[in-house]
Amino acid sequence: MALAACLALSTTAFTTIPTTHQKTSHTSLVAINSRSIQSTILYMSSTDIESKTSSLKRLPESAVELTLSIPGKATSAAYDKTLSEVSKNVSIPGFRKGAKIPPQVIENAWSKNGGKKALKTTAINELCGELIGSALKDEYDLEPIGQPTLVTSAEELADGFTPGEDLEVIIKCDVWPEIQWKDPSEGQEKTYMGLKGTYKRKPFNQERFDAALNDLKERYAKLEPYDDGSQALTQGDACKVNMVGYMANSDGSKGEALPDAASGDNVEVILGPGRYMEGLVEGLEGGKVGETKTVNVRFPAVSSTIMLN
Protein backbone atom coordinates (compact mmCIF):
# COMPACT_ATOMS: atom_id res chain seq x y z
CA MET A 1 0.00 0.00 0.00
CA ALA A 2 1.36 3.42 -0.85
CA LEU A 3 1.23 6.42 1.44
CA ALA A 4 2.80 9.82 1.79
CA ALA A 5 4.00 11.30 5.06
CA CYS A 6 4.61 14.88 6.06
CA LEU A 7 7.33 14.77 8.72
CA ALA A 8 8.43 17.77 10.77
CA LEU A 9 11.90 17.31 12.30
CA SER A 10 11.97 18.42 15.93
CA THR A 11 14.72 20.55 17.43
CA THR A 12 17.10 17.68 18.16
CA ALA A 13 18.98 15.38 15.84
CA PHE A 14 21.46 12.79 17.02
CA THR A 15 24.45 10.92 15.71
CA THR A 16 25.32 7.45 17.02
CA ILE A 17 28.60 6.77 18.84
CA PRO A 18 29.27 3.05 19.42
CA THR A 19 30.31 2.12 22.94
CA THR A 20 32.67 -0.70 23.82
CA HIS A 21 30.43 -2.26 26.42
CA GLN A 22 27.36 -1.68 28.52
CA LYS A 23 26.30 -3.56 31.61
CA THR A 24 22.67 -4.52 32.03
CA SER A 25 20.79 -6.13 34.86
CA HIS A 26 17.40 -7.73 35.20
CA THR A 27 15.15 -9.13 37.83
CA SER A 28 13.15 -12.27 37.21
CA LEU A 29 9.71 -12.87 38.70
CA VAL A 30 7.79 -16.15 38.51
CA ALA A 31 4.28 -15.72 37.09
CA ILE A 32 1.60 -17.69 38.92
CA ASN A 33 -2.00 -17.73 37.66
CA SER A 34 -1.45 -14.64 35.51
CA ARG A 35 -0.16 -12.71 38.54
CA SER A 36 3.45 -11.92 39.43
CA ILE A 37 4.04 -11.90 43.16
CA GLN A 38 7.52 -10.90 44.25
CA SER A 39 9.18 -13.46 46.49
CA THR A 40 9.67 -12.43 50.11
CA ILE A 41 10.78 -14.31 53.20
CA LEU A 42 7.96 -16.43 54.58
CA TYR A 43 6.43 -15.37 57.86
CA MET A 44 7.71 -18.37 59.79
CA SER A 45 10.44 -18.88 62.32
CA SER A 46 13.61 -20.82 61.67
CA THR A 47 12.25 -23.45 64.07
CA ASP A 48 9.21 -23.95 61.83
CA ILE A 49 11.43 -24.43 58.79
CA GLU A 50 13.86 -26.76 60.53
CA SER A 51 11.00 -28.95 61.78
CA LYS A 52 10.34 -30.17 58.25
CA THR A 53 11.64 -33.64 57.37
CA SER A 54 12.88 -34.89 54.03
CA SER A 55 14.14 -37.97 52.25
CA LEU A 56 16.09 -38.36 49.03
CA LYS A 57 15.96 -41.03 46.37
CA ARG A 58 18.55 -41.30 43.62
CA LEU A 59 17.21 -41.69 40.07
CA PRO A 60 18.97 -42.61 36.82
CA GLU A 61 20.77 -39.99 34.73
CA SER A 62 21.87 -37.78 37.64
CA ALA A 63 18.34 -37.02 38.84
CA VAL A 64 16.96 -37.16 42.37
CA GLU A 65 13.52 -37.35 43.95
CA LEU A 66 13.14 -35.27 47.10
CA THR A 67 10.22 -35.84 49.47
CA LEU A 68 9.44 -32.97 51.84
CA SER A 69 7.13 -33.33 54.82
CA ILE A 70 6.17 -29.76 55.69
CA PRO A 71 4.67 -29.01 59.13
CA GLY A 72 1.33 -27.29 59.61
CA LYS A 73 2.91 -24.12 61.03
CA ALA A 74 4.79 -23.63 57.75
CA THR A 75 1.74 -24.21 55.53
CA SER A 76 -0.28 -21.79 57.64
CA ALA A 77 2.47 -19.16 57.45
CA ALA A 78 2.75 -19.59 53.66
CA TYR A 79 -0.99 -19.12 53.14
CA ASP A 80 -1.09 -16.08 55.45
CA LYS A 81 1.79 -14.56 53.50
CA THR A 82 -0.02 -15.14 50.21
CA LEU A 83 -3.18 -13.46 51.54
CA SER A 84 -1.09 -10.53 52.77
CA GLU A 85 0.53 -10.08 49.36
CA VAL A 86 -2.78 -10.34 47.51
CA SER A 87 -4.48 -7.86 49.85
CA LYS A 88 -2.02 -5.21 48.60
CA ASN A 89 -3.29 -5.64 45.04
CA VAL A 90 -7.05 -5.71 45.56
CA SER A 91 -9.46 -2.92 46.39
CA ILE A 92 -12.31 -4.03 48.67
CA PRO A 93 -15.09 -1.60 49.66
CA GLY A 94 -15.09 -0.91 53.39
CA PHE A 95 -11.38 -1.67 53.90
CA ARG A 96 -8.47 0.74 53.75
CA LYS A 97 -5.55 -0.19 51.51
CA GLY A 98 -3.08 -2.16 53.61
CA ALA A 99 -5.63 -2.91 56.34
CA LYS A 100 -5.93 -6.44 57.74
CA ILE A 101 -8.70 -8.13 55.78
CA PRO A 102 -10.36 -11.41 56.84
CA PRO A 103 -9.23 -14.39 54.70
CA GLN A 104 -12.78 -15.16 53.51
CA VAL A 105 -13.16 -11.61 52.16
CA ILE A 106 -9.88 -11.82 50.24
CA GLU A 107 -10.79 -15.24 48.86
CA ASN A 108 -14.14 -13.93 47.59
CA ALA A 109 -12.50 -10.83 46.10
CA TRP A 110 -10.01 -13.09 44.30
CA SER A 111 -12.74 -15.21 42.70
CA LYS A 112 -12.15 -13.79 39.21
CA ASN A 113 -8.51 -14.88 39.45
CA GLY A 114 -9.22 -18.44 40.53
CA GLY A 115 -10.45 -17.88 44.06
CA LYS A 116 -9.30 -19.94 47.01
CA LYS A 117 -7.68 -22.65 44.88
CA ALA A 118 -5.49 -20.11 43.10
CA LEU A 119 -4.41 -18.68 46.46
CA LYS A 120 -3.55 -22.16 47.73
CA THR A 121 -1.60 -22.88 44.55
CA THR A 122 0.41 -19.70 45.01
CA ALA A 123 1.10 -20.56 48.66
CA ILE A 124 2.35 -24.04 47.72
CA ASN A 125 4.63 -22.65 45.00
CA GLU A 126 6.03 -20.02 47.39
CA LEU A 127 6.52 -22.61 50.12
CA CYS A 128 8.32 -25.07 47.85
CA GLY A 129 10.49 -22.34 46.40
CA GLU A 130 11.52 -21.41 49.95
CA LEU A 131 12.37 -24.95 51.07
CA ILE A 132 13.58 -27.01 48.09
CA GLY A 133 16.90 -25.26 47.54
CA SER A 134 17.90 -25.29 51.19
CA ALA A 135 16.94 -28.96 51.57
CA LEU A 136 19.07 -30.02 48.61
CA LYS A 137 22.07 -27.88 49.50
CA ASP A 138 22.09 -27.97 53.30
CA GLU A 139 20.88 -31.50 53.96
CA TYR A 140 22.30 -33.41 50.98
CA ASP A 141 25.04 -31.12 49.68
CA LEU A 142 23.55 -31.21 46.18
CA GLU A 143 23.47 -28.42 43.62
CA PRO A 144 20.33 -28.47 41.44
CA ILE A 145 20.65 -28.10 37.68
CA GLY A 146 17.73 -26.33 36.06
CA GLN A 147 14.31 -25.85 37.66
CA PRO A 148 13.05 -28.47 40.16
CA THR A 149 9.55 -29.73 39.31
CA LEU A 150 6.74 -31.03 41.48
CA VAL A 151 5.75 -34.62 40.71
CA THR A 152 2.18 -33.65 41.60
CA SER A 153 1.48 -30.14 40.33
CA ALA A 154 0.72 -27.32 42.76
CA GLU A 155 -2.76 -27.04 41.21
CA GLU A 156 -3.50 -30.69 42.08
CA LEU A 157 -1.98 -30.37 45.55
CA ALA A 158 -4.19 -27.33 46.17
CA ASP A 159 -7.30 -29.58 46.07
CA GLY A 160 -6.22 -31.28 49.30
CA PHE A 161 -4.26 -28.42 50.83
CA THR A 162 -5.47 -27.06 54.17
CA PRO A 163 -3.49 -24.24 55.78
CA GLY A 164 -2.32 -25.34 59.20
CA GLU A 165 -2.14 -29.03 58.27
CA ASP A 166 0.99 -30.96 57.28
CA LEU A 167 1.79 -31.21 53.57
CA GLU A 168 3.93 -33.73 51.73
CA VAL A 169 5.40 -32.83 48.35
CA ILE A 170 7.64 -34.80 46.02
CA ILE A 171 10.08 -32.97 43.76
CA LYS A 172 12.23 -34.19 40.90
CA CYS A 173 15.41 -32.40 40.01
CA ASP A 174 18.59 -32.89 38.00
CA VAL A 175 21.84 -32.56 39.95
CA TRP A 176 25.50 -32.62 39.06
CA PRO A 177 26.63 -36.23 38.50
CA GLU A 178 29.02 -37.99 40.85
CA ILE A 179 32.12 -39.18 39.05
CA GLN A 180 34.04 -42.08 40.55
CA TRP A 181 37.43 -42.87 39.09
CA LYS A 182 38.87 -46.35 39.28
CA ASP A 183 42.09 -46.60 41.23
CA PRO A 184 44.97 -47.34 38.81
CA SER A 185 46.99 -50.48 39.16
CA GLU A 186 50.43 -50.09 40.65
CA GLY A 187 52.81 -48.45 38.19
CA GLN A 188 50.03 -47.35 35.83
CA GLU A 189 48.70 -43.89 35.17
CA LYS A 190 45.26 -42.84 36.34
CA THR A 191 42.53 -44.08 34.03
CA TYR A 192 41.61 -40.62 32.80
CA MET A 193 45.17 -39.75 31.76
CA GLY A 194 45.77 -39.86 28.02
CA LEU A 195 42.12 -39.68 27.03
CA LYS A 196 41.56 -38.11 23.61
CA GLY A 197 38.53 -36.43 22.20
CA THR A 198 37.46 -35.15 18.81
CA TYR A 199 35.23 -32.34 17.69
CA LYS A 200 34.07 -30.76 14.47
CA ARG A 201 34.00 -27.02 14.02
CA LYS A 202 31.51 -25.50 11.62
CA PRO A 203 32.98 -23.28 8.89
CA PHE A 204 33.34 -19.67 9.98
CA ASN A 205 30.50 -17.53 8.59
CA GLN A 206 31.85 -14.01 8.12
CA GLU A 207 28.48 -12.64 7.01
CA ARG A 208 26.68 -13.82 10.16
CA PHE A 209 29.56 -12.60 12.33
CA ASP A 210 29.42 -9.12 10.77
CA ALA A 211 25.63 -8.99 11.17
CA ALA A 212 25.85 -9.96 14.85
CA LEU A 213 28.62 -7.40 15.43
CA ASN A 214 26.61 -4.63 13.77
CA ASP A 215 23.58 -5.58 15.83
CA LEU A 216 25.60 -5.23 19.05
CA LYS A 217 27.02 -1.89 17.91
CA GLU A 218 23.55 -0.53 17.23
CA ARG A 219 22.08 -1.94 20.43
CA TYR A 220 24.70 -0.29 22.65
CA ALA A 221 25.27 2.83 20.59
CA LYS A 222 25.32 6.12 22.48
CA LEU A 223 23.43 9.07 21.00
CA GLU A 224 25.05 12.51 21.09
CA PRO A 225 23.27 15.65 19.82
CA TYR A 226 24.73 17.49 16.84
CA ASP A 227 26.38 20.78 17.77
CA ASP A 228 25.36 22.21 14.41
CA GLY A 229 21.59 22.19 13.92
CA SER A 230 22.04 22.63 10.16
CA GLN A 231 23.73 19.24 9.84
CA ALA A 232 22.01 17.09 7.20
CA LEU A 233 20.87 13.64 8.28
CA THR A 234 22.83 10.66 6.96
CA GLN A 235 22.65 6.89 7.37
CA GLY A 236 23.28 5.92 11.01
CA ASP A 237 21.87 9.16 12.42
CA ALA A 238 18.78 9.36 14.61
CA CYS A 239 16.16 12.07 14.70
CA LYS A 240 12.80 12.84 16.30
CA VAL A 241 9.88 13.73 14.04
CA ASN A 242 6.27 14.83 14.34
CA MET A 243 4.24 12.98 11.73
CA VAL A 244 0.69 12.91 10.41
CA GLY A 245 -0.42 10.24 7.94
CA TYR A 246 -2.77 10.44 4.97
CA MET A 247 -3.97 8.07 2.29
CA ALA A 248 -2.28 8.70 -1.02
CA ASN A 249 -4.56 9.44 -3.98
CA SER A 250 -3.84 7.87 -7.34
CA ASP A 251 -2.32 11.14 -8.57
CA GLY A 252 0.02 11.30 -5.55
CA SER A 253 -1.90 14.05 -3.74
CA LYS A 254 -2.88 13.98 -0.08
CA GLY A 255 -6.08 12.05 0.58
CA GLU A 256 -8.06 11.01 3.65
CA ALA A 257 -6.28 11.32 7.01
CA LEU A 258 -5.13 8.07 8.62
CA PRO A 259 -6.04 7.00 12.18
CA ASP A 260 -3.93 8.29 15.05
CA ALA A 261 -1.97 5.01 15.04
CA ALA A 262 -0.17 6.24 11.90
CA SER A 263 0.68 9.62 13.45
CA GLY A 264 2.69 10.81 16.44
CA ASP A 265 4.89 13.47 17.99
CA ASN A 266 8.55 13.06 18.97
CA VAL A 267 8.80 9.71 17.17
CA GLU A 268 12.41 8.53 17.10
CA VAL A 269 13.61 7.35 13.70
CA ILE A 270 17.05 5.80 13.21
CA LEU A 271 18.26 6.00 9.64
CA GLY A 272 19.25 2.52 8.57
CA PRO A 273 18.22 -0.13 6.05
CA GLY A 274 15.36 -2.55 6.72
CA ARG A 275 14.02 -0.78 9.81
CA TYR A 276 10.81 0.84 8.62
CA MET A 277 8.36 0.85 5.75
CA GLU A 278 9.88 1.37 2.31
CA GLY A 279 10.67 5.01 1.57
CA LEU A 280 10.68 6.48 5.09
CA VAL A 281 14.44 6.48 5.73
CA GLU A 282 15.20 7.52 2.15
CA GLY A 283 12.78 10.43 2.45
CA LEU A 284 14.38 11.68 5.68
CA GLU A 285 17.97 11.37 4.51
CA GLY A 286 19.42 14.83 3.88
CA GLY A 287 16.77 16.52 6.06
CA LYS A 288 17.64 19.14 8.68
CA VAL A 289 16.19 20.21 12.02
CA GLY A 290 13.10 22.39 11.59
CA GLU A 291 12.30 21.23 8.06
CA THR A 292 8.94 19.80 7.00
CA LYS A 293 9.10 17.04 4.38
CA THR A 294 6.52 15.01 2.50
CA VAL A 295 7.68 11.42 2.25
CA ASN A 296 6.13 8.74 0.09
CA VAL A 297 6.19 5.35 1.76
CA ARG A 298 4.74 1.97 0.87
CA PHE A 299 3.21 -0.71 3.02
CA PRO A 300 3.32 -4.40 2.03
CA ALA A 301 1.07 -5.43 -0.84
CA VAL A 302 -1.52 -6.97 1.50
CA SER A 303 -2.63 -3.47 2.57
CA SER A 304 -4.41 -0.68 0.72
CA THR A 305 -2.96 2.59 -0.59
CA ILE A 306 -2.36 5.12 2.23
CA MET A 307 -0.79 8.60 2.70
CA LEU A 308 0.86 10.19 5.81
CA ASN A 309 1.24 13.91 6.54
Of 175, 205, 240, the domain-final residue = 175
In this structure, the answer to whether residues 8 and 37 fall within a common structural domain is no
Q: What is the pLDDT of residue 206?
A: 95
- Residue 8 shares a structural domain with residue 39: no
Indicate whether 37 and 73 sit together in one domain: yes
- Angstrom distances, CA of residue 145 to CA of 26, 28, 82, 90, 286: 21, 18, 27, 36, 55
Instruction: Give the Cα separation of 139 and 167 in Å (integer).
Output: 19
Q: Is residue 126 part of a domain?
A: yes
**CA-to-CA distance for 305 and 294, rounded, in angstroms?**
16
For residue 224, give the amino acid letter.
Answer: E
155 with 62, same domain?
yes
Quick check: is 270 in a domain?
Answer: yes
Residue 185 lies inside a defined structural domain of this protein: no
Decide if pLDDT at 97 tops 80. no
Mean pLDDT check: name the lowest of 44-53, 83-92, 185-194, 200-209: 44-53
pLDDT greater than 60 at residue 147: yes
* Pair (133, 45) in one structural domain: yes
Does residue 286 or residue 3 have the better pLDDT?
286
Counting Cα atoms < 13 Å in the Cβ hemisphere of 82 gives: 28
pLDDT tens per residue, range 218-227: 788 788 888 7
113 and 237 share one domain: no
pLDDT of residue 301: 62
Give the pLDDT of residue 25.
31
If one counts the domains in the chain, the total is 2
**What 3 state SS string does the chain have?**
CEEEEEEEEEEEEEEEEECCCCCCCCCCCCEECCEECCCCCCCCCHHHHHCCEEEEEEECCCEEEEEEEECHHHHHHHHHHHHHHHHCCCCCCCCCCCCCCCHHHHHHHCHHHCHHHHHHHHHHHHHHHHHHHHHHHHHHCCCEEEEEEECCCHHHHHHCCCCCCCEEEEEEEEECCCCCCCCCCCCCCCCCCCCCCCCCCCCCCHHHHHHHHHHHHHHCEEEEECCCCCCCCCCCCEEEEEEEEEEECCCCCEEEECCHHHCEEEEEEECCCCCCCECHHHHHCCCCCCCEEEEEEECCCCCCCCCEC
Does residue 196 lie in a domain region? Answer: no
- pLDDT per position as a tens digit, 149-182: 999 999 999 999 999 999 999 999 999 888 777 7
CA distance 176 to 198: 24
pLDDT by residue (tens digit) across 117-126?
Answer: 999 999 999 9
Between 156 and 274, where is the model more confident?
A: 156
Query: Residue 146: what pLDDT?
Result: 85
Q: Residues 35-93: pLDDT tens digits?
A: 333 333 333 444 444 556 889 999 998 899 999 999 999 999 999 999 888 888 777 77
Domain end marker among 141, 175, 209: 175
Give a yes or no: residue 128 inside a domain: yes
Q: Print the domain residue range for 38.
A: 31-175
Do the domain assignments include residue 188? Answer: no
CA dihedral 36, 42, 43, 44 (to 10 degrees): 160
The predicted structure's pLDDT at residue 35: 30
Kindly state whether residues 171 and 227 are assigned to the same domain. Answer: no
Average pLDDT over every residue of 198-209: 92
Question: Residue 37's domain is classified under what CATH number?
Answer: 3.30.70.1050
For residue range 3-34, what is the model confidence (pLDDT) as tens digits?
A: 544 444 444 444 444 444 333 332 222 222 32
Q: Per the domain annotation, does 267 fall within a domain?
A: yes
Please give the mean pLDDT across all residues of the chain: 76
Last residue of a domain, one of 175, 195, 212: 175
pTM above 0.75, yes or no: no
Residue 169 lies in a domain: yes
